[in-house]
């Protein structure tokens, strides 16, 4: 059974830092690209970041670029999100997702097929 379990969410002051983790099981983690997606309280879903299966490629949303860093350790079946310079608007539940996808003549296309249960980050003084 595919499982993604996030952890690391906490209450942090504005300007502070936090590192989220997502541990994967039930599949060969190193063969899949993964993402972070967040959801502010009462709001919709916001994609944050992508990392390829080898960690060679990473993408970020403009809202977190330069503040957040995605990384992974395939030997530990783990995905991470280092969050710096946190703001009140970063308060949200953070989800990790696994990608399914394919590569064709016009590029590679990936969609989320599994989601973790989420971890809550609250940024407040």
Partner 1 sequence: DIQMTQSPSSLSASVGDRVTITCRASQGISNYLAWFQQKPGKAPKSLIYAASNLQNGVPSKFSGSGYGTDFTLTISSLQPEDFATYYCQQYNSYPLTFGQGTKVEIK
Interface residues with partner 1 (CB under 8 A) are 35, 44-47, 50, 59-62, 95, 100-101, 109-118
Nearest to 124 by CA among 8, 15, 46: 15
Instruction: For partner 1, give the closer residue by CB, 72 or 110.
Output: 110
Instruction: For partner 1, give the closer residue by CB, 2 or 11.
Output: 2
CA-derived radius of gyration, the chain: 14
Q: In angstroms, what is the minimal distance from the CB of 72 to partner 1?
A: 17
- Separation of alpha carbons 26 and 36, rounded Å: 19
Q: In angstroms, what is the minimal distance from the CB of 90 to partner 1?
A: 16
Q: In angstroms, what is the minimal distance from the CB of 112 to partner 1?
A: 6
- Separation of alpha carbons 52 and 74, rounded Å: 11
Instruction: For partner 1, give the closer residue by CB, 3 or 17.
Output: 3
C-alpha dihedral (13, 48, 59, 11), degrees to nearest 10: 20
């Amino acid at each position: 059974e595919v499982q993604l379990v996030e952890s690391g969410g906490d209450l942090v002051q504005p300007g502070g830092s936090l590192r989220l983790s997502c541990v994967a099981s039930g599949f060969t983690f190193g063969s899949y690209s993964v993402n972070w997606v967040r959801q502010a309280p009462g709001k919709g879903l916001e994609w944050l970041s992508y990392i390829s299966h080898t960690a060679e490629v990473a993408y970020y949303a403009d809202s977190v670029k330069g503040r957040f860093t995605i990384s992974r350790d395939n030997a530990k079946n783990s995905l991470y999100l280092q969050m710096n310079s946190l703001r009140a608007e970063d308060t949200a539940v953070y989800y990790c997702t696994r990608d399914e996808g394919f590569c064709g003549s016009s590029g590679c296309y990936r969609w989320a097929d599994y989601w973790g249960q989420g971890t809550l980050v609250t940024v407040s003084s």
